[in-house]
Amino acid sequence: MSLYLVTGGAGFVGSYLVRFLLDRDEEVRVLDNFSTGKRENLTEVESRIEVVEGDLNDPAALSRAVSGVDYVFHEAAIPSVPRSVEEPAESHEANATGTLSLLCASKEAGVRRLVYASSSSVYGANPELPKVETMRTEPLSPYAVAKLAAEHYCTVFHRLYGLETVSLRYFNVFGPRQDPNSPYSGVVSRFIDAILSSTPPTIHGKGDQTRDFTYVENVAQANFAACHETSAAGGVYNIGCQTRISVNELWANMAELTSSKLEPSYTSARSGDVPHSVADISAARRDLRFDPQIELREGLKRTLEFYVPVT
């Protein structure tokens, strides 16, 4: 049995990873400051895990969190493009400086490998599709800049200090426990909020922007593989489903599954958003043996069933 640290373990992806590890009888510790993560996300498993309450930039809490740890899943972040546009310094402190602090502590503690949750937003304004890890990055938001900076820190710590790191560029992750009430939520959770409140969903722009929506279980599988596949050390990988649909099509699917007759309300496009995105996952298939098992329609059905009846 190995000891895994999940930073941001009370958040959406983090809490899913906690359960994923417990299902495999692993030992789990969580570090979370509960600024965006929710304690209730861990209620049903809290007796089986250790929780360290604290911030990545708190040396005492961080030292306790990494002590004796074999592997780190680094999910802690302020995961919002709009919020980073409003508060760029806060985004940098949490997403870039916090990652550097964790890398330093992990190196000193003798952690075997750290898997970092990066973002497809690092590709930004580069119009080339699909997105390939070797292509030029052109971030459009402070959030994307911080995520990219943290990626580079991970790579340097691997090359310079021998700390094994893997960076995973997530493409629009969705699933149960993604907070639908947050103004910074992803579009799937915002659409769920609209369905729950019987309020027309808001779509930014024309709704023709496309995304590679990725169910959270696929992401958990990728993280676990990134911890243990030897050839992945030092790598950067796209984690998506290699398919894309428009936001309008996404709403049509969700409305059909819930028999919703709500009509979307359209508003201006958001600053920092990219028009189109889809992952090339060839490298992840090769090095991580990553093969996403849950396709979009099934992922939407599972997510909606967590909140509302589906047809």
Dist CA 244 CA 221 (whole Å): 20
Catalytic residue among 4, 71, 123, 143: 143
Long-range contacts of 148-156 (CB under 8 A, 24+ apart): 148/118, 148/122, 149/92, 149/96, 150/95, 150/96, 150/99, 150/100, 150/116, 150/118, 151/116, 151/118, 151/122, 151/236, 153/96, 153/99, 153/100, 153/103, 154/99, 154/103, 154/114, 154/116, 155/234, 155/236
Q: Which of 240, 118, 126 is nearest to 172 (CA)?
A: 240
Dist CA 153 CA 116 (whole Å): 10
| Pair of tokens at residue 180 | 């639908």
Q: Which amino acid is at 25?
A: D
> Residue 184 catalytic?
no
Residues noted as catalytic: 143
